[in-house]
Structure formats: C-alpha cells, structure tokens
Structure 1
Amino acid sequence: MLIEVGAIVVALGLLMTVAYRGLPVIVFAPLCALLAAALSGMPLLPAYTELFMTGVAGFVRAFFPLFLLGAMFGKLMDSSGSAAAIAAAMTRALGPRHAIPAVVLAGAVLTYGGVSLFVVAFAVYPLGAALFRDAGIPKRLLPAAIALGAFTFTMDALPGTPQVQNIIPTRFFGTDAYAAPLTGTIGGAMVLIGGLVWLERRRARAALLGEGYGTGHQNEPAARSADRLPPLWAAVVPLLVVLTVNFVLSRTAWSVETWYPEASLLRDFPETRPRDAASTWAVIVALSAGILATLALNSGRMRDSVSASLSAAAAGSLPAIFNTASEVGFGTVIKTLPGFEIVRSMVLDVSRHVLISQAVAVNVLAAITGSASGGLSIALEVMGRQALDAAQAQGISPELLHRIASMASGGMDTLPHNGAVITLLAITGLTHRQSYPDIFVITLIKTAAVFILAATASALAG
C-alpha cells in the first residue's frame, strides 16, 4: 500500500517542483506520469501511448472549441482596447485609494463576460501596475489581486459564467451553466469578501512597515494611451452579448437543445446526447456572437490588426489547452495505478455526504493535476455516475452537485505547478517566492468556501 501511494506522491511532488522552478509542464507531465507508472510496475510505452495520450486527446476533443473561441474573443477584446477600456473605467471609478478592489473587479467583469483567464491577466496587469505604483502598494500583491478577480468566483461560482470549469459538469449531471444560482452567488460573495479582506490586511501591514511599490521590477508595462481606447459602451456590449446569448440558448424556449430533432441526431450521431452537449453548444454560439460583436463595433479601429490578432489567438490557445491536456493525461495515468484505488477509497470514505466527498475528490485531483478543468474532468469521469446516484438517494439535486464540483475545481488547483499561476507570474515579472504565498491564501479561502457550502447544503438536505 505504501509503495503504491508513494509512486503517486513522488510523481506529483516532482511535477510541482519542476513547475515551481519554471520548467514547462507540457514536457514534464508525461515524464512524471511515466515515472509513477514505472514505480508501480506498469509498462512504460503502453502507459504513454494508450493512457497518457488518450487522456490528452479526449480533453482536446471535448474542449478545444471553447479554448480557441475564448482565446479569439479575449484577444480581440484586448487588441481593440475594449478590455483596457473596461479595466480603466473600473480604476477611474474606484481610484488609487481602492486599487486592490479596482483590480479584482476589473478582472472579474472580464472573466464573467467570457474573456479567457490568460487574456484577463494580460489586460488587467498594465492598469493594475500603474494603480499599485500610484497608491504605493507592493507589486508583489498584484498577482493575488488578479487571481482573486479572474481565477476564483467568476471562473466557476457565479451562475452563467462561460468559463470551461462551469461547463464540464453539464456533461455529467445534465445541467446547464446556470446550475444552483443562489448557492453559486453566495459562494462567490464569500470568496470575494474573504479575498479582499486578506489583501487589504496585507496592504495595511506593508504600509505600516514602510514598504512601497518597490524598485527594479521585471516586465514593467507601458500604459496604453487613453485616446486609443473605445468608448465604454462599445467595450461592454460584446460581454453582454456573450452572457445574453448563453442565457437564451441555455434557459429559454430557444435553447440550443431544441435546434436538432433528437431522432435525426441519434441516427447520424449515435453517441451524441443533446442534453449533455447543449451547454457546450450554447457557449460556442455565445462566444462566436461575442467575436462578431467585437469586430463589428471596432471595425475601424482594428482594420489592420484583425488577421494578426486572430493568428495570435489561435497560436495562444494551443499552449493553454495542451498544458491542461497534458495535466489531464498525467491524471489519466495516475487514475489507472494501484495506488489511485487506495486514494479513491480514502476520498470516498471521507464523508457519507456526497457533496463533501465530491468536493474532496475534485480538490485532490485538481491539486494532483495542477488544473481546475483537468482535475474536474478526471474526477467526474471516475466518480460522476456514483456521485449522481448517491445524490439522488440523499435528495440532493444535480444542480448542487454541479455547483460544488465546479467551485471545488478552482480550490487547490492553484498549487505551484498550475499553468495559470505560472503564466500570471511570468506576465507580472514576479517569482513564486515573491508572490505565491498570497495566491495560496486566496486558494485556501476559495477551498474553505466550497466546504462551508457543501456542509451547509448537506445539513439542510438531512
């Protein structure tokens, strides 16, 4: 037993270490997976070609359209100046005295509107750096502020968010992106308030010690000229288009689920279940509509940059999805090892309440893979059916399962080997040593909120 579990621990520890040192996860994820397989006595080449690559291919097949369209939408919002216009409006409204809330809310608006997490970090960073510099707030706190706005409550808690972490559970529980709206809103508020309280305490302590923005920083941004930004209404409309189209196609009589006769789908695509695929289809259409709206509203401003923006978005979507897919491949190998059965049994035996055991399972797998979407996919593939059966027996709705699973994916995923964390620190020119401790506290706040919600919902269900 000790050897089997030790193989997983060693492989995970190595993957976290190389990520902490800035080495590419896409290279080391398969190597760490094969190390775990070797320590467990599994043949290496079959483990690579039949397990690791199958996990990679399955994730890419299911979610590449969302990554690609999300990257395109985000890049067009960025290159048109729309993202910067929204962020600038938030900072003007709140001012340097409230620099931390301004950065958090700017990131939250963009993420909830469908802009990919990576693009949000690029868009918010220049304005955040300027605000923090003017307010004398240490730059080392900026990554945590961006992470709070982009990587937490708007990623997977608030109902309707088009981020992939909120779409994955729909395939397993027959829900849509608006599942358990009250629970998600309460959870989102808990994370936002808790994160802001922590960051403000850190700001106050730094001020008391006389610590300012700091000097000698890397990657200091050049501010975008305000006269090159679009008006605020033109910047906001594409976000509203994405949210509105997603809602209409998910929760009204025009639902995308009704677009195709089920009989013809079963004949031509026998493995397709419209109810399971509908949420993904809705987000694909919504992001496409947002892209068209962005192009239409900024045609003059972007006349010479559309081709370059789309090419950059397409190229940028590949590292994002393949980093995540590699982590899914790592998890796919891990879940076939003897040690994983021991870990799985321990996770399932944590609580008789399905919401709590599911939150533990998703958190553990998100931590192992360093990916919210990767860990969530693996957890629901392995345990989703069992969780759904247990929920029905306990009188818990599939919508609650969806929301708790989605929020749990954005808990312990942000360990040092997480791709979004690595990218965020690279963008801001800071290191894990400088800024990761505050990101980790945000991670703990998010994780605590998930378990509070799971425990409360379990208690109310009896």
Structure 2
Amino acid sequence: MLLAMLGIILSLAFLITMAYRGHSVVVIAPIAALIAVVFSWDHLLASYTQVFMPAAGGFIISFFPLFLAGAIFGRLMSVSGYAEDLARWVPRIFGPKRAILITAIVTALLTYGGVSAWVIAFTIVPIAKPLFQHANISLKLMPAAIALGIFTFATAALPGSPQIHNAIPTPFFNTTTFAAPILGVIGAVITFGLGMMWLNWRERSLLRKGEGYVDISTSAIDGAGTTIPVSSATDSYSDTGLDESAGGVASGGSNGLRNAPTVTLEKRGTAAGSPDIVRRGLIGLLPILVVVGVNATFVYLISPHLNFDYLSEKRFGSTDLSSVLGTWSVTLGLVAAIALIFICRPRSVVHYFSALSEGARNAVLPVFTTASEVGYGAVIASLAVFAVLQDQLFDLSDNPAVLGVVATAVISALTGSSSGGLSITMQTFGQQLAQMAQDQGISLDFLHRVVAMASVSLDSLPHNGAIVTLLLVCGLTHRQAYKDIGVVTVVVPFIGVIAVLALGLAVPALT
C-alpha cells in the first residue's frame, strides 16, 4: 500500500513538473497515470484503453459542444473587433485614472460573455498598458488586474457564466449554470471587492515608495501583429478614451508565444473622445448580453414548456432534460451570439467564415487537454489505494459541500488546472456527493456553486499554465508580478468560497 501511495505522489509530481515546463498534458497525463499504475502493480494496457480513454472520451462527448461554440465565439469577438471596442468604451464610463478597475471589469465582461482567457489576454494587454501609464500605476499590478477579471468570480461565481467551469457540475447534479444565483452573486461581490481592495492598497503602497509606471515588460505588441521595442510602444491617451495607436493584438514575438490570436480591426474613429466609441462599445457588449440572455431564456422560459420525454429513448442515451440542460442552454446562447455577429456586420462574412475554422481548431487542444486530465483522474480513482485516500477524505467531514470544496480545491491545486481539477473531482466523487446531499437535504444548486468556485481558488499556483501564459503575454516574470496574482486568484477566491460555503450552510433559504 505504501508503494502504491508513493506511485500516486510521483505521478502527480511528474504531471505538475512537466506541465509547468510547458509539455502537453495530452501526452503527459497518460504517462503520469501509468506511473501510478506500475507502482500499484495493476494492468497497464487495460488501465489505458478501458479506464483512461473512456473517461477522456466521455468528457469530450459531454462538453465538446461548449468548447467548440466558445472557441468560435471568442475568435469572432476578436476578429470582428467587438472585444476591443468594448475595452475602449469602458474607460469613458469610469474615467482613465481607474486603470485597475477598468482592466478588471473589461476582462470580467468578456469572461462572463464566454470569451476564452487566451483571446482576452491578447485583447486587453495592449489597451491596459497605456491605461496604467496614464494613471501612473506600476505595471507589476497589470497581470493581477487581468487575472482578477478572468480567473475568479466571472468564471465560476456569477450565475449563468458560460465558462466550462460553471458547466462541468451540471450533469452530475442535474443543475444549470444559474445554480444558486443569490449565493453566486454574493460570492462574486466578495471576491471582486476583496481583490480590488488589495490591488488599490498595493497601488497606493507602491506610489508611496515612489514606484509608479515604468515599462518593465520585455516586449510590447502593435496592431500589425509584430513585436516592437518597448520604448516605441507608448500609446497616446486622452482623458476621454484611447487613441488609435493603442489598438491591436499579437501573433507572436519575443515573448515566445506562437500562433497567438490576431485581431482584424475595422477602421476606428480617429478621435479618442468620439461618440463612435460609445456606439461601438455598446454593440460590442450586445453579443455578451445575448449569450447570457438566451441561456437564461431557454432555462427558465422555454424548456419548462416543451416536451423532452423523447430523451428517455435508448438512441438518445436514456437520459432526461436535467442531465443535458446545462450544456444545451449555454451552447444555444453562444450560437445565438455567433449568429448575431454575422448579422451585425454582413460585409465581413467572408472573414467570419475563416474565423469559424480557426475557432474550431482552437477548440481541439483545450478539450483534449482537459479530457486527458479527466482520464488521469479516472485511472487514479480505479486503483485500490485510492479507496484508502477516499476514506481519509470523507473522514474530514460528513457534509458533501465541505467535502466537495476541499477535494476540488486540493485536486485543482495539484494539477494546476481549475477545469481539470473540477472534472477529476466530479468524475471521482460527483455521484457520491450528490447522493449525500440528497440524503441530508442539502441543495444540489448550492453544491454546484461551491465546487465551481472552489475550482478557481487554489488552482492558480505558480505552475498553473494559464498564469504562465498571462505573464508571457504581459512580458513580466513570476518574480515581478506573481505576488499580486497569487493574492487575487488564490487567497481572495478561497476566502470567497469559504464565505459562500458558510453562508449557504447557515442560511439554507439562500441556496
């Protein structure tokens, strides 16, 4: 038993180390799983073909529509220029001096609309830098402001978020992405509020030390998709909005990123304070509103009045609406938003069709990466030693919400992946947690919300791939910026999920 336990530890260490070094989890996860199998003296080939692959395939079957629609929508938001239009409009509302607040809100809006973190990072960085320069705020805080909007409350706390983290629990708990809306909003307010308090305090603290804006990034990106010297990347800025030179995103460069998404921008108004910015910003916001609106409409207004009894037929998997509603509603919202983008700018249809193919290609690697992590978790769960670990975990508490939070947070931390950690937890413990909640009269909506929020807490440790990518896009290092990233993406979300957990258990009516 001790040898088998050592095998799990070594396999996790291998997975974390290799992922941190940038190796593909699609390859690394099955190798890591086989390490654990060898130490347990279990069957190698059977563990791969009969355990790993069915689990990975099952995840792809359940969630690929979300990955595909989300990747296409994100690509279209980028190619159409809507994402940048939105990012340029928000400063007019809050004022150019509030660079941290503006950056966090823009990234949160794009995240809540279903745009991928990859697209958001490349869209916001060239716009956030002149904002920080104009407000004389240290560039060290920019990655944390971006991370607060992308990786925390907008991903898993806000009800209706189309991000995969909010959809993964739906088939296990028969819930929707709007599960526990009151608690979700409370958790979002706590997380966003604490994150902003920290960043604002850090801004004042750095200014007291005489540390304002200095471009310490290794590179900057211009609208042509090429890397230019930092000294020539300073964009002009007015009190009413960004100048034209602030726009554009990258496709590569000295930061080492390859095949980054490019943005094809339509001609912008030449005046930074032009009313055209407001119009374009509102239009850029519209697809996001459609995603959330169609999602909610299908869940609350349409599906209750339609007959879905046919889902019980064998050819449809002998299922029911509650098992697929979460996936269906989000996918419909994303497809509706995609259609809207086509309708709003019909003259760009030729470019949009190219974006469909690019978005489809962009969906493949993320879904296979997460599926490989799910397969890894399934193999670990199949080992005899895992039953011992499971018993030890369940000895911590008999409350399924507490168990779900602890298991999700720990596994997400170990794997360095929120979606991967949540998927492993659901595949391994989902049915047991759901049964325990039903036996104890605990709301499954509440369980959904707290495990989703737990997935975006301890996951953002230094080896997290998304954090590494964000720092590369910003041109900064862990040493320069991770302290603040760690506070707003690890400490603050963990406080948020604990607060929601305690509140939900104390006041069941909120669940």
**TM-score greater than 0.5 by the shorter chain:** yes
The answer as to 2:430 corresponding to 1:384 is yes
Partner of 1:318: 364
CA contact under 8 A between 2:159 and 2:179: conserved in structure 1?
yes
Relative distance call for 1:347 and 1:439 in structure 2 (3 A) is farther
8 Å CA contact 2:82–2:283 kept in 1: the answer is yes
Moved more, 142-151 or 346-355: 346-355
Q: Distance in 2 between matches of 1:337 and 1:370?
A: 22
Shift of residue 260 of structure 1?
5.0
Residue correspondence of structure 1 range 318-357 to structure 2 within 5 A:
318-357=364-403
2:336 paired with 1:289:
yes
Q: Which amino acid aligns with 1:299?
A: P
Which residue, out of 312, 327, 330, partners 1:280? 327
Trace 1:227-266 onto structure 2 (pairs within 5 A): 227=269, 231-252=280-301, 254-255=302-303, 259-263=306-310, 265-266=312-313
Using a 3 Å threshold, how does the CA distance of structure 1 residues 260 and 116 change in structure 2: closer, same or farther? farther
Residues in 2 aligned to 1:48 and 1:267: alpha-carbon distance in whole angstroms: 28
Q: Match for residue 120 of structure 1? A: 120
C-alpha distance 204-25 of structure 1, shift in aligned 2 (>3 A):
farther
Identify the residue that residue 141 of structure 1 maps to in structure 2. Answer: 141
Match of 1:361 in 2: 407
CA distance in 1, matches of 2:100, 2:402: 32
Distance in 2 (CA, whole Å) between partners of 1:293 and 1:258 is 25
Structure 2 residue ranges without an equivalent (≥5): 223-245, 248-266, 271-276
The answer to whether 1:447 aligns with 2:481 is no
Q: How many residues align?
A: 459
Residue of structure 1 equivalent to 2:231: none
Distance 2:365 2:269 in 1: 33
| Alpha-carbon shift at residue 457 of structure 1 (Å) | 2.2
Cα distance between partner residues in 1 of 2:22 and 2:314: 49
* Cα-to-partner distance string for 1:204-244 (whole Å, 9 max, x where unaligned): 23223333444452341223274397712221221111111
Q: How do residues 144-293 of structure 1 correspond to structure 2 at under 5 angstroms?
A: 144-215=144-215, 217-222=217-222, 223-224=246-247, 226-227=268-269, 231-252=280-301, 254-255=302-303, 259-263=306-310, 265-293=312-340
Larger radius of gyration: 2
Task: Tell me the CA shift for residue 345 of structure 1.
Answer: 2.0
Matched-pair contact (CA < 8 Å) for 2:88–2:281? no
Which stretch shows the higher mean deviation, 102-111 or 88-97? Answer: 88-97
**In the TM superposition, what whole-angstrom CA distance separates every residue of 1:67-92 from its partner, at most 9, and x where no partner exists?**
11101111111111111111111223
Q: Distance in 1 between matches of 2:11 and 2:177?
A: 34
Contact 1:328/1:369 (<8 A) preserved: no
2:285 partner SS: helix
| Equivalent pair of 1:137/1:212 in contact (CA under 8 Å) | yes
Within the alignment, does 1:457 sit opposite 2:471 as a pair? no
Percent identity reads 40
Q: Name the stretch that deviates more: 313-322 or 28-37.
A: 28-37
Q: Deviations over 1:88-137 (max 9, x none)?
A: 11223223421111110001111112222322222222211221233333
Of 468, 475, 495, the match for 1:429: 475
Deviation at 1:351, TM superposition (A): 1.8
The amino acid that maps onto 2:459 is D
Structure 1 distance, partners of 2:310, 2:364, is 35
SS at match of 1:413: helix
Q: 3-state SS of the aligned residue for 1:272?
A: coil
Change (3 A) 1:227 1:55: farther
* Equivalent position SS for 2:460: coil
Structure 1: where are the runs of 5+ without partners? none
Taking a change above 3 Å as real, the CA distance of residues 36 and 264 of structure 1, as seen in their structure-2 partners, is: closer
In 2 relative to 1, CA 93–409 (structure 1 residues): closer, same or farther, beyond 3 Å? same
Pairing 1:309–2:355 present:
yes
> Are positions 1:106 and 2:152 aligned together?
no
2:421 equivalent to 1:375 = yes
CA separation of 1:340 and 1:448: change in aligned 2, threshold 3 A: farther
TM-score, normalised by the number of residues in structure 2: 0.84
Partner SS state of residue 280, structure 1: helix
Cα distance in 1, alignment partners of residues 58 and 479 from structure 2: 35
Change (3 A) 1:17 1:208: farther
Aligned alpha-carbon RMSD (Å): 2.4
Specify the alignment match of 2:259 in structure 1: none
| Paired residue secondary structure (1:351) | coil
What is the distance in 2 between the residues matched to 1:211 and 1:338?
55
For the 8 Å contact 2:113–2:288, the answer to whether it is kept is yes
When normalised by structure 1's length, the TM-score is 0.92
Cα distance change of structure 1 residues 139 and 20 upon mapping to structure 2, 3 Å threshold = farther
Residue 88 of structure 1: aligned partner: 88
Contact 2:377 2:428 in 1 (8 A): no
2:73 alignment partner in structure 1: 73
Structure-2 change in CA distance of 1:140 and 1:30 (3 Å): farther
Distance in 2 of aligned mates of 1:52 and 1:29:
9
- Residues 203, 117 of structure 1: alpha-carbon distance in 2 compared, 3 angstrom cutoff: same
Q: Which residue of 2 aligns with 1:400?
A: 446
Q: Deviations over 1:279-299 (max 9, x none)?
A: 211111111100010111122
Matches of 2:5 and 2:311 in 1, distance apart? Answer: 47
> Given the superposition, is the C-alpha separation of residues 314 and 154 from structure 1 closer, same or farther in structure 2, using an over 3 Å criterion?
same
The one-letter code of the counterpart of 1:227 is: G
Bigger shift: 238-247 or 382-391?
Answer: 382-391
Report the CA distance shift for 1:46/1:219 in structure 2 as closer, same or farther (over 3 A).
farther
Does the 8 Å contact 2:32/2:376 carry over to 1?
A: yes
Is the 1:8–1:334 Cα contact (8 Å) retained in structure 2?
yes
Q: What is residue 274 of structure 2 aligned with on the other side?
A: none
Equivalent position SS for 1:97: coil
How much does 1:267 deviate? 4.8
Q: Which moved more, 1:406-415 or 1:425-434?
A: 425-434
Counterpart in the other structure of 2:19: 19
Question: What displacement does 1:270 show?
Answer: 3.7
Question: 456, 461, 482: which is aligned to 1:415?
Answer: 461
State the match for 2:227 in structure 1. none
How far off its partner does 1:350 sit? Answer: 1.5
Name the amino acid aligned to 1:441. Answer: V
Q: Decide which moves more: 232-241 or 266-275.
A: 266-275
Instruction: After superposition, give the CA deviation of every residue in 1:132-152 in whole Å (9 maximum; x if it has no partner).
Output: 233333333222211110111
Q: Is the 8 A contact 1:330 1:369 kept in 2?
A: no
* 1:71/1:314 contact within 8 Å kept: yes
Cα deviation per residue 1:401-445 (whole Å; 9 max; x = unaligned)? 111121112222223343322332232233334333322222121
Which letter does structure 2 place at the counterpart of 1:426? L
Distance 1:30 1:210 in 2: 50
8 Å contact kept, 2:55–2:378: yes
State the Cα distance separating 1:303 from its structure 2 match: 4.2
Q: Is the partner of 1:11 in helix, strand or coil? A: helix
Which amino acid is the alignment partner of residue 362 of structure 1?
T
**Greater Cα offset, 366-375 or 98-107:** 366-375
